Amino acid sequence: MPKVTRKPLIAANWKMFKTPDEAVAFVRAFIPLVATYSHAEIVLSASPTLLPTVVAAAKGTAIHIAAQDMHWKESGAYTGETSPLQLKAIAVTHVLIGHSERRQYFNETDETVNLKLKAALAHGLVPIVCVGELLSEREAGKTASVLESQTAAALVGIDPAIAGPLVIAYEPVWAIGTGKTATPEMADEAHKIIRAQIAKSLSPEIAASTRILYGGSVKPASTAALLALEDIDGALVGGASLEPESFSQIVANSAV
């Protein structure tokens, strides 16, 4: 499956960090650091209250803005939720779906991930769907089965004709915020499993063009080795995305 057709995507996940002023300061410092890079798609994922501010700060640049979650309904009595229509109205272009922290702490399920993916595609948002195994699952030799199951469940009922924007992020849950990182070879093996499942669920052509990101304690020093591998098409970056200098270095190092 040729990698040459897949443009790298480097996404920051700020999680529940930054005030509006801090977010604006980040974007202003970050823009000149990445102004000359066109090899990768750059995405900043921010908390709901920051989204309008970050969209405005990045206006006129090639930087895209993502929500960290959304509901699958367009409207309704769902206190605290955000709809795809609301995201589109403020010029958000991407959305994270099924992040491991949403699954672990907020009862996200394979079924709700599927509903959100369908809504994102229907409303023209670029979905970044997260899948990944726990440490206990890896140690029990269940990595492949977990990745196949989560990917297959996310893609149930997805029309291949509109699946072009799909992005998958592989998150080894045991490597998030722990300082542990899967070796490039471990990550590439997991990405191959995910890509094979996309081929089964949708089509080999969709699988060949779908970008699969690595997201597990990504640092500037590890980026080049990860992105050099055939099936790793970018990164979903947590802690190292909170400072403009370190995140811009990850963007720079993804040009392999």
Residues annotated catalytic, as ranges:
99, 171
Q: Cβ of 115: how many Cβ atoms within 10 Å?
A: 16
CB 94 within 8 A of CB 125: yes
CA-wise closest residue to 170 among 222, 106, 114, 234: 234
- Which residues, 6+ apart, have CB-to-CB distance to 247 below 8 Å? 10, 12, 30, 237, 240, 241
- Which residues, 6+ apart, have CB-to-CB distance to 40 below 8 Å? 7, 8, 9, 10, 234, 251, 254, 255
Backbone angles phi, psi at 130, to 5 degrees: -95, 135
Rounded Cα–Cα distance for residues 204 and 24 (Å) = 41
Q: What element of type H or E holds 218?
A: none
- CA–CA–CA angle 247, 233, 27 (5° rounding): 25
- Per-residue CA distances from 92 to 10, 36, 39, 167, 219 (Å): 16, 23, 21, 16, 26
> Distance between the two ends of the chain, CA-based, in angstroms?
18
